[in-house]
Amino acid sequence: MLDQIRGLHHVTSMADDARTNNHFFTNTLGLRRVKKTVNFDSPDVYHLYYGDRAGTPGTVMTYFPFPQMPRGRAGTGEVGTTVFSVPKESFGFWQERLTQLGVTGLKAEEAFGERRLNFAGPDGDGFALVEVENDPRTPWTEGGIAEDHAIRGFHSVSMRLRDEGATAELLKFMGYEELDRKDGVTRLIVPGGNGATLVDLETLPNINRAAQGAGSVHHVAFAVDNREKQLEVRKALMDTGYHVTPVIDRDYFWAIYFRTPGGVLFEIATNEPGFDRDEEIDHLGEALKLPQQHKHLRAILESHLQKLDG
């Protein structure tokens, strides 16, 4: 069993409009845009990152906004819901705020003894807020939401699977432990992690496979401290029979990817070097930052990419 995984690192999804996406996360949810860059493989498309002040692993939601991308079709083999942690007694604030701002899909419920508010993103993305007592992570408060209500980071992700068995075994190999089972959902936790330590597995044997599009999660990334730990994880996964990519430099972290038995794409990402490697911490996400191989395209990309607020 591995002991290098610290919890979630980031979740990457797809959207169809960059300006709408940026407004939703920075205004509606009050997160900080910590990086404005482009897709490594398709530089005419943004890669936008949102999180806390520094883009701390375990807080970062990222997006590829492909213009006019058709919506995805929900189903199995994907992350169905990305869940954020908010303070106790902030439920009413968020319910009122999201209602006033016209957010759809609002549904209050209780799961695993926690108060939960489900809602949809601009592309039908599945989100929820869960009240967590004494989450020690420091929130971003310059997005217009006070500290006693502001999002702390990820609480969990929920994966929809036709059969949870092999994915549950994989997560246990990655250092997760079963915490609880309730109403067809298995909850796993990585002990002593970074605060974003939970994964829920929902078994839906009669549901069709998802089709990716706007509003779909592209992949979920798990955090390791550094490249040395990442290489240890890569070797262990390959020795177990998984087909894992070589290490890829993503400028702000190093990444490896592999497809899980349930169909979800996993990434293992390093906590180093961080989002301040090419911008001062006080100015994260302000300027368009380009990977080295795309820097010669700056003039073209700046004229082509949609202008964002802020």
- For residues 36 and 46, the answer to whether their CB atoms sit within 8 Å is yes
The fraction of the chain above a pLDDT of 70, given in percent, is 100
Whole-model pTM: value is 0.97
Q: What is the pLDDT of residues 161-204, one digit of tens each?
A: 999 999 999 999 999 999 999 989 999 999 999 999 999 999 99
Tokens in use for 251? 């400028």
Average pLDDT score, the chain? 97
Check pLDDT > 70 for residue 50.
yes
Question: With the C-alpha atoms ordered 143, 156, 163, 113, is the resulting torsion angle positive or negative?
Answer: negative
The one-letter amino acid at 218? H
- Over range 152-160, report the average pLDDT: 98
The one-letter amino acid at 27? N
- pLDDT range class, residue 309, cuts 50, 70, 90: confident
What is d(CA 158, CA 257) in angstroms, rounded to the nearest whole number? 19
- For residues 55 and 271, the answer to whether their CB atoms sit within 8 Å is no
Sequence-distant (≥ 6) Cβ neighbours of residue 263 within 8 angstroms: 76, 77, 78, 161, 209, 210
